[in-house]
A and B are shown apart, each in its own frame.
Chain A
């Protein structure tokens, strides 16, 4: 069967679509490879002054979690020509020098070329005469290393195959479904496959009814994907990048297996 994609909905940070003609292992491999997508995040912070009420470690941790937009030309430090020393290609530096009284936001982080995904995140509050001076270094990393390097969430479920026989005029079915997927059209029961999560409530209920049978089974080759971006990239790019990550990892195996020749 040919692989096909049908778009369902698209918002700024969320997307959902059906992929037909794959299997569970492929779908799950794509999901797991989101952890292999290189993403930018602050990794080391050097403090010169911190008069705020929070400890250096807490502020450093908050800085690490801030989503950053990396340019496409950025490379991972391990793969860079500088051999892990850190240079402009693999490291983005941030500066923060402020004095209270005020709330410090992510937009106050100064850097060259790298943007924060959300400029209005409160980082810390400073009282009168309290000062902060720090520099931070951001590098590319993968989600396996630390959760701050994940670009978003990706999950999927099987497309439900719904078989309804009889059940004419059974209006009480509408109340049975906890997901509100059941509607009655021309006295016939119909179930919305996109809302159904195969809980089986209507299947159980139909057993006690005469001349009525509902069967719902999860499809083994059609899947509904949902992707939510954390702001670093567009959600559809997460899907493509995850597949690229699988590809790269398989390429490494191919390269290594040439030893057998």
Chain B
């Protein structure tokens, strides 16, 4: 939906890194290198980034009520 504020498992704040990650991966950089550069060491935080799909922009087009 939208990137979680913190990692589910370890609690590290990660949301501020998402847009940097997304921009660099879309340019064609290797996700492994980007994650290392952003300082995400543990596999719990890395999994949040690798598995995330931004769907909120699409979902917000539909009515909630």
Interface residues of A (CB under 8 A from B): 13, 51-55, 62, 65-67, 106, 117-122, 124-127, 130, 147, 150, 153, 228, 230-231
Cα–Cα, bound, A124→B54 (Å):
11
In the complex, 19 of the A-B residue pairs with CB atoms within 8 angstroms, ordered by the A residue number, are: A52-B60, A53-B60, A54-B56, A55-B64, A65-B4, A66-B5, A106-B16, A118-B13, A120-B16, A120-B19, A122-B3, A122-B15, A122-B19, A125-B2, A125-B57, A153-B10, A153-B12, A230-B11, A230-B13
How far is it, in angstroms, between the C-alpha of A118 and the C-alpha of B16 when the chains are bound? Answer: 7
In the complex, what distance in Å separates the CA atom of A130 from the CA atom of B19?
22
Residues A126 and B60 in contact in the complex (CB < 8 Å), given A230-B12, A231-B13: yes
Enumerate chain B residues within 8 angstroms of A117, measured Cβ to Cβ: 13
Is the CB–CB distance between B57 and A65 below 8 Å?
no
Among candidates B5, B6, B10, B60, residue contacting A125 with C-beta atoms closer than 8 Å: B60
A55 to B3, CA, bound (A): 16
Q: Taking A120-B16, A121-B16, A230-B13 as contacts, is the C-beta distance between A130 and B60 under 8 angstroms?
A: yes
Q: Could you tell me the distance between the alpha carbons of A118 and B2 in the complex, rounded to whole angstroms?
A: 17
- Interface status of B43 (Cβ within 8 A of chain A): no
Question: Does B11 lie within 8 Å of A124, measured CB to CB?
Answer: no
Find the residue from A51, A62, A65, A121 having the highest chain B CB count within 10 A. A121
Q: Once the chains are docked, how many angstroms separate the CA of A120 from the CA of B3?
A: 12
List, in ascending order, chain B residues with CB within 8 A of A121's CB: 5, 13, 15-16
Q: Does B21 lie at the interface of the complex (its beta carbon under 8 Å from any beta carbon of A)?
A: no
Q: How far is the CB of A160 from the nearest CB of chain B, in Å?
A: 21
Q: How far is the CA of A113 from the CA of B1 in the complex (A)?
A: 32
CA distance A230 to B13 in the complex (A): 6
Task: Specify which of A122, A150, A153 is in contact with B2 (CB 8 Å cutoff).
Answer: A122
Shortest distance between the CB of A105 and any CB in chain B (Å): 9
Given A62-B4, A127-B60, 19 further pairs, Cβ under 8 A: A53-B64, A62-B5, A67-B13, A118-B15, A118-B16, A119-B16, A120-B16, A121-B5, A122-B19, A125-B56, A125-B60, A126-B60, A127-B57, A130-B60, A153-B10, A153-B12, A230-B11, A230-B13, A231-B13
**In the complex the two chains form, what is the Cα distance from A130 to B1 in whole Å?**
17
- Asked if B1 and A54 make an inter-chain contact with CB atoms under 8 angstroms apart, the answer reads yes
- Report chain A residues within 8 Å CB of B2: 54, 122, 124-125
Nearest A residue (CB) for B64: A53
If A118-B13, A118-B15, A228-B12 touch, whether A65 touches B64 (CB-CB below 8 Å) is no
- Contact, CB under 8 Å: A53 / B13: no
* A54-B1, A62-B5 known; A124-B12 Cβ under 8 A: no
Q: Using known A-B contacts A52-B60, A53-B56, A54-B56, determine if residue A122 contacts B13 with beta carbons closer than 8 Å.
A: no
B11 touches which one: A62, A66, A122, A150 (CB < 8 A)?
A150
In the assembled complex, the CB of B3 is this many whole angstroms from the nearest CB of chain A, namely: 6
Query: For residue B4, which residues in chain A have a CB less than 8 angstroms away from its CB?
Result: 62, 65
A228 to B7, CA, bound (A): 14
| Closest B residue to A12 using CB positions | B39
Bound: A118/B56 CA distance, A: 21
